[in-house]
Amino acid sequence: MGRPTTKTDFLTAAAANYEKLNALIGGLTEKELKVPFDFSDDAKKKEAHWKRDKNLRDILIHLYEWHQLLIHWVQSNQKGETKPFIPQPYNWKTYGNMNVEFWKKHQSTSLEDAKAMLQKSHVEVITLAETFSNEELFSKGVYQWVGGSTLGSYFVSVTASHYDWAMKKLKAHKKKCAAM
């Protein structure tokens, strides 16, 4: 399936990818959970996140924090408080620094807490999405605060697409562990 462009497709993709992510996590071995992520020897993995995230908790917290961005952005704008999706002092060019701050903020968060936080925020995001019609989610120009995109594209990005990102990273880590 391509990137969802309807509410039904979004809800299906978000649920399916969340389920796949949890199945992948549930199948991680003790070794895969204990060995720190290290992709430094792979020249193809240049993006900052390949160096930033060192374990499963870091990935789960990243997903959780992006859920929070979406929830707070939507709720604030619905109340008439115009706010950008990426909070100040960050923007789309500097959001990598924001991700590092999320990472730092949660270095003492336990894996169990991270799992619970993500589970709760996933439900909150889906529940919030369900309050919108298909048109509100996937028609341009419905909400001025969304800009030139659709509200639904933000929901897709922080759920289905982000879960794909997390699974790719976990699969790369599993592959490295298997080669050890």
Cβ–Cβ < 8 Å for 4, 145: no
Q: Does residue 33 fall inside a structural domain?
A: no
- Please report whether residue 146 resides in a domain: yes
Is omega for the bond preceding 84 within 30 degrees of 0, making it cis?
Answer: no
For residue 32, the one-letter residue type is: E
pTM: 0.97
DSSP 8-state assignment for residue 144: G
- Asked if the structure places residue 2 within a domain, the reply is no
For residue 1, what pLDDT is reported?
A: 64
- Report the number of distinct structural domains present in the chain: 1
Residue 1 within any structural domain of the chain: no
Q: What is the CATH number of the domain that holds 72?
A: 1.20.120.450
CA distance 41 to 175: 13
Domain that holds residue 91: 53-179
Domain membership flag for residue 85: yes
The per-residue pLDDT for range 139-177, each reduced to its tens digit, is: 999 999 999 999 999 999 999 999 999 999 999 999 999
**pLDDT per residue over 10-21, tens digit each?**
999 999 999 999
What average pLDDT score do residues 109-118 get?
98
Does any domain span residue 44? no
| 35: in domain | no
Q: For residues 129 and 155, is the Cβ–Cβ distance under 8 A?
A: yes
